[in-house]
Structure 1
Amino acid sequence: MVRAAAKTTSRIATHMAIAFALTWLMTGSIALGGLAALIEPVLNVALLPLHETAWHALAGLARTARGRMLALGLEKLSQTGLHIAVAFGVMAWASGSLAFGGLAALIEPVLNVIALPFHDRLWDRFGKGGRKEIEQHNQNENERNGAYPGQTLVA
C-alpha cells in the first residue's frame, strides 16, 4: 500500500518535472514553467474522473466482449486526446503562442511515454530488492522463534 502510494507520487513528480522542463525550455521562464507544472497535472487529475465516468457508462451499453474491448480502446484513445488538449491549452496559455501549444501537445505526451516506463522499471527493480529483504527477515524471525524446517511462524 505504502509502496504503491510512493510509486504514484513519484510518477506524478516525474510528470511534473517533464511539464516544468518543457515549459521552461519553450518560454524561458521558470515562473511559467512552475505554474504549468502545477496546472497541467491538476487539470488532468480533475478531468480524468469525469472522462472515466462517461466512458464507463458507454461501456456498460456494450453487449458483447468485442464491444467492451472496442469501448476500452476508444476510451484510451479519448484519454490520450484529453491529455493532448490539456497540454496544448496550458502551453498556449503560458506562452501566448498557439504554435508552442501545438508543439507541447506533441512533445509532452511523447516524453511521458518514454520516461514513465523507465520510471516503472526502476520501481520494479527497487521492489524486488525490498521483497527479498522482507523474505530474509521473515526467515530469520522464524528460525529465531524456533520454527521447524518448513514451518512458518512469521508470514
Structure 2
Amino acid sequence: MNIEQTVSAAVAGLQLGNTFTLDTLLTAVQERRHRRLRVVELAGLDTSDGICAVWLVTDTADIVLHARSDSALHRQQFVLHEFAHMILGHCEGQDCAAEDVLLPNIPPYTRGRLLKRQDIDCETEIAAESLADRLAAGIRGSVFAETRYSEVFG
C-alpha cells in the first residue's frame, strides 16, 4: 500500500476542498458512513495508558471517545485519527473480533480495534495518522481564512 496515494485519494474523496471546518468534516463522515457520529470527551481516559481515543461502533452510530488534554489541537488530533480510520474503511468487511471470553460486554468490532491499538507502526495506523494530519491542515486553513490570518501576518 502506498500510504501517500491512499491518503490523497481519501482527502479527494471527501470533496471538501482545501479548507473546511471540523463540523463540515463531521457531517461528511456521517454522510459517508450513513450513520450518526458522536464525539465525547471521556474524563477517565488517560493518555498515560497509551489510549488517546477509541472509536466505538454501535448498530446505529459511531462514537469517538477521547482523552482530555489541555491542548485543543492535541484533542483534535485524537479525534481526527479516529475519523481517519472511518474514512479509510479500516476493519470494514473484516473480522476484527477478539476472543469473546476476554471482553464479553464489548462488541467484537470494538474489542478487535482496542486490542490492535498497540501496533502503532503498522500501515493502518500510519495511514490514519497521516490522514489526520492532512485533515488538521484543512481545518487550520479554514481558521486562517476566516480570521484573515494571512492578510495580517503575510
Q: Which has the larger radius of gyration?
A: 1
Q: Which has the higher helix share?
A: 1
Q: TM (normalized to structure 2)? A: 0.34
Q: Which has the higher strand share?
A: 2
> Greater RCO between the two (CA within 8 Å, min separation 6)?
2
Q: TM (normalized to structure 1)? A: 0.34
